[in-house]
Amino acid sequence: MRQNRARIPVDPITGKYARVGVMDRGPVPQIVQLLTPRRVEPPTGWTELWSDQICRYRVAGLSIEQCAELAGTTIDILKQHFPQELANGSDMIKARITSKFIGKALEGDVACMIFYLKAQGGWREVNRHELTGANGGPIESVAVTIDAERLTPEQRQILRLAITKANKDENDDTV
């Protein structure tokens, strides 16, 4: 017996089966409005329309690889024909983000102000750790003299091992 199965919708962007209907997702994302039909082969002559479209792809935040895929060509051909558009689109999105960021800083967002001053104003945080002795004075060092003649043979052996280990540790740190 054949069961009645609901038809699983296909996502128009990825071409994969969607778990929920396309209409269930809400409004169509803005990036979908920017997409144009894919080309199977690179066009023989690039038009002004493609130049504008590549710039729009970059402004939308797409990588060069994604732009090449949407244009139906390779990254090398895209870089060869549209170097200015790729750079301009990237610069335009950076300018938009910077503009909004500075606007937030000017509105009083303290985190944005601090970040901007650290990045552009030369501000920096310095954490200094100082080791001091008692009451902030200098660290006192104590010299200890051991009279090995008064030690037992077992104590001398332990002392030799401790000195050898200390020398070995000191040499390992410098290597």
- How many helices and strands in the chain, by DSSP H and E? 7, 0
- pTM listed for this prediction: 0.41
Cβ(60)–Cβ(34) under 8 Å? Answer: yes
Residue 83 above 70 pLDDT?
yes
- 25-47 in b/e form (b: 16+ CB < 10 A) is eeeeeeeeeeeeeeeeeeeeebe
Residue 24: which pLDDT band, with cuts at 50, 70 and 90?
Answer: very low
Residue 97, both tokens: 């983000």
Residue 30 above 50 pLDDT?
no
> For residue 10, what are the β-bridge partners?
17
Q: What is the pLDDT of residues 36-50, one digit of tens each?
A: 444 444 455 566 777
Q: What is the pLDDT of residues 113-153, one digit of tens each?
A: 999 899 888 888 888 888 888 888 888 888 878 888 888 99
